Structure 1
Amino acid sequence: MPAIVNRLRSPRGLAIFLLLPILMAAFCYYTLSQLSTHSPIRNRNIALLIAHPDDEAMFFSPTIQSLVSPSLQNTVQIVCFSIGNAEGIGNIRETELLASASILGVTNVNNSVIILDDPNIEDSMTKSWPEDLLASLISDSLKDLRDENGGKRVDTFITFDKGGVSAHPNHVSLLRGAKYYLRHYPKQNDILLYTLNTVPVYRKYISILDAFVTTLLDRVKNGARGVEEEEGGGYNGAPKSAMYLSNWQGYRTAQKAMTEGHKSQMVWFRWGWIAMSRYMVFNDLVLDTDLS
């Protein structure tokens, strides 16, 4: 401790100490200013496609909390393709998903959340799910959601990208199933498909700092013109990408969705996840127009 104090007393140490608040302020300003250029998804009837109860809280919390904002005039619904019965507690996890969705702001969860329990769709760390079966289940689920939503048809999917955040085969299968559905059900091919960006492991656990990394990389990749194109929209006027950064209250709400919503899943390593994962505080989505 005395050595640290002595270093701070030196001109160089004092300068670094005084610069830290300025650098932090610059980081916050830059990140927020860049996020403001990414048009939010608005006026859409959205179906979030997840593999297991707790995916919505562990990976999509910032997105859900943003999209349910009344100012964006979205309808947000969730389709979960398994009850998460790998440990034989699927009935508990179904109830937990409804509780978590409610905490995150999804309204009328008994009608807005569909939880599937097909014997051919097994919660597994090693098995992929058949894309044609997933497409059939998606079709049936969308009919149910339309009936529960006053006849309004789902026009937007949000799900995992090809990396599945953790390369979980069930996560990755959902993207293939969604694309299979969009290819083979031609009346539905105007549905927008957004995917959650998978980042390297070393970025998963730097929490809010990855918002800065992501926006900086986006600027380097696309430049000023890329940002302008984002504002102009992508397919049918929809944004090509969307970034959602939670404030402190949103971050705590995401944690609450896990600690109070998914109590059965709060084993030791998930405490580390909800404390440090960038997905608890920041999401970046990309519009996927390649249905191959």
Structure 2
Amino acid sequence: MPAIVNRLRSPRGLAIFLLLPILMAAFCYYTLSQLSTHSPIRNRNIALLIAHPDDEAMFFSPTIQSLVSPSLQNTVQIVCFSIGNAEGIGNIRETELLASASILGVTNVTNSVIILDDPNIEDSMTKSWPEDLLASLISDSLKDLREENGGKGVDTFITFDKGGVSAHPNHVSLLRGAKYYLRHYPKQNDILLYTLNTVPVYRKYISILDAFVTTLLDRVKNGASEVEEGEGYNGAPKSAMYLSNWQGYRTAQKAMTEGHKSQMVWFRWGWITMSRYMVFNDLVLDTDLS
């Protein structure tokens, strides 16, 4: 402690100490100003496609908490393609998913969350899922959601991108299944498909700092004019970024610690503390159905 005090007394140390609040303020101002150019998804009937119970909390918390805001007038539903039964506790994890979704703000979870348990779709770290089967399951699920939602059909998918955040084959399969559905099922090509951006591992664990990195890279890559236009197919935003405040971050952690209690092994504490996906999501509109 005395050494730290002595450093602060030096002109250089004092200058650094005084500059820190200014740098943090600049970081926050820049990040928030850039996020404001990415129009939020609004007035949509959304189906979040996930592979396992806890995906919604570990990867999509900022998105879910933002989209359920009444001001955006969205309907948010979740389709989970397995019960996560790799360790034989699938029945427990089903219940945990409902609890987590409720914590994150999804309303009427018994009707808004569909959990599938097809024998050909197994929770596995090594197996990919057949895209045609996934498309069939998507079709059946959307029919159920339409019935539960007063006849209003899903018009927006949100799922993992081709990197699957962690290259998990189940995650990656969902994108292929969603694209297969949009390509091959009649009158479904007007559904928007947004994917969650996968970042390199050295950015995955810098928490909120990656919001600054992402917005800076986005500005450099796209330039000011394209970012400000921000609209893609049918007037929908080309991208959407969601940054949680402190309360949202704590809610995301609660969805894991109180919702998915069975999954809170030691390394997940590191994830819910350090992962950028617990506090920041950036989604991209996918217009390539190849």
TM-score (norm 1): 0.98
1:5 deviates by 2.3
CA deviations over 1:239-286 (Å, ceiling 9, x no partner): 000000000000000000000000000000000000110000000000
Indicate the percent of aligned positions where both proteins have the same amino acid: 98
Q: Which runs of 4+ in 1 moved over 3 A?
A: 228-232
Q: Is 229-238 or 124-133 further displaced after alignment?
A: 229-238
Q: Distance in 2 between the 1:13 and 1:258 partners? A: 40
What root-mean-square deviation, in Å, do the aligned CA atoms of Structure 1 and Structure 2 show? 0.8
Contact kept? 2:230, 2:239, Cα under 8 Å: no
Q: Counterpart of 1:264?
A: 262
Contact kept? 1:230, 1:241, Cα under 8 Å: no
Aligned mate of 1:239, from 237, 240, 260? 237
CA deviations over 1:130-181 (Å, ceiling 9, x no partner): 0000000000000000000000010000000000000000000000000000
Q: Distance in 1 between the 2:192 and 2:135 partners? A: 15
Q: Distance in 1 between the 2:16 and 2:99 partners? A: 46
For structure 2, the 5+ residue unaligned runs are: none
1:232 deviates by 4.6
Distance 1:230 1:173, change over 3 A: farther
Distance 1:230 1:161, change over 3 A: farther
Q: Distance in 2 between the 1:281 and 1:230 partners? A: 24
Q: Counterpart of 1:209?
A: 209
Contact kept? 2:38, 2:237, Cα under 8 Å: yes
State the number of aligned residues. Answer: 289
SS at match of 1:186: coil
CA deviations over 1:41-67 (Å, ceiling 9, x no partner): 000000000000000000000000000
Contact kept? 1:207, 1:279, Cα under 8 Å: yes
Q: Distance in 2 between the 1:87 and 1:23 partners? A: 46
Q: Distance in 2 between the 1:127 and 1:195 partners? A: 21
1:12 deviates by 1.5
SS at match of 2:255: helix
Q: Distance in 2 between the 1:244 and 1:8 partners? A: 37
1:191 deviates by 0.3
1:3 deviates by 3.0
1:7 deviates by 2.2
Q: Distance in 2 between the 1:9 and 1:265 partners? A: 47
1:229 deviates by 4.8
CA deviations over 1:196-230 (Å, ceiling 9, x no partner): 00001111110000000000000111111xxx555
Contact kept? 1:68, 1:76, Cα under 8 Å: yes
SS at match of 1:173: helix
Q: Distance in 2 between the 1:266 and 1:13 partners? A: 41
TM-score (norm 2): 0.98
Contact kept? 2:60, 2:277, Cα under 8 Å: yes
1:6 deviates by 2.2
Contact kept? 1:230, 1:239, Cα under 8 Å: no
Q: Distance in 2 between the 1:186 and 1:33 partners? A: 40
